[in-house]
Structure 1
Amino acid sequence: MILTLTLNSSVDISYPLEHFNLDTVNRVTNTSKTAGGKGLNVTRVLSEFGEDVVASGFLGGQLGEFIEHQLDENQIQHSFFPNKR
C-alpha cells in the first residue's frame, strides 16, 4: 500500500473555452472543479494505474468536504486529519 501525504490540498477550477478571440470578451459556458494539490494528483495517477493507494493530509471546511466527496466519487481511499479552528 502507498500512502500519499498532501499538506496543501486545493480545488482546481478549469474554465474551458471553445474559441479564444483577441481584443474581445471571451465567455465561459461551464466550469469544472477537481480535488488538487501535488499529493492528490499523484494519488489519482497511482489509482488509475491500479495501485493500492491512500490519500492523507489535513482538510477542513467546505473545501475539505468537497475534496473528500471527489475522492469518494473516484473510489480513492482517503484518511485525512480534520483541521478545525
Structure 2
Amino acid sequence: MILTLTLNPSVDISYPLTALKLDDVNRVQEVSKTAGGKGLNVTRVLAQVGEPVLASGFIGGELGQFTAKKLD
C-alpha cells in the first residue's frame, strides 16, 4: 500500500474546448472541477495503474467539503 500526503489540496478547474479559435471569442459548454494538488494527482494516477494507494492530508472548510465529496 502506498500512502500519499497532500498538505495543500486545491480545486482544479478545466474549461474543455472542442476547438480553439484564434483572434475570436472561445465559449465553453461546461466547466469541470476536480479535487487536486500534487498528492491527490499522484494518488489518482497510482489508482489508475492498479497500485493500492491511500490519500491522506488535512481538509477543512468549503474546500475540505468539496474535496471529500469528490474523493468519495
Classify the TM-score, shorter chain: 0.7 to 0.9
Could you tell me how far apart the structure 1 residues matched to 2:20 and 2:64 are? Answer: 33
1:1-85 equivalence runs, <5 A: 1-72=1-72
**CA RMSD after TM alignment:** 1.2
Specify the code of the residue in structure 1 equivalent to 2:42: V
Structure 1 residue 3, shift from structure 2 partner: 1.0
Provide TM-score, normalisation by structure 1: 0.76
Specify the code of the residue in structure 1 equivalent to 2:61: G
Structure 2 gaps of 5+ residues are: none
Could you tell me how far apart the structure 1 residues matched to 2:19 and 2:45 are? Answer: 29
Specify the code of the residue in structure 1 equivalent to 2:43: T
Structure 1 residue 69, shift from structure 2 partner: 1.3
Q: Report which structure shows greater RCO (CA 8 Å, sep ≥6).
A: 2
Could you tell me how far apart the structure 1 residues matched to 2:21 and 2:50 are? Answer: 41
Tell me the number of residue pairs that the alignment of Structure 1 and Structure 2 aligns.
Answer: 72
Could you tell me how far apart the structure 1 residues matched to 2:25 and 2:19 are? Answer: 11
Instruction: Kindly indicate which of the two structures has a greater share of residues assigned to strand.
Output: 1
Structure 1 residue 50, shift from structure 2 partner: 2.2
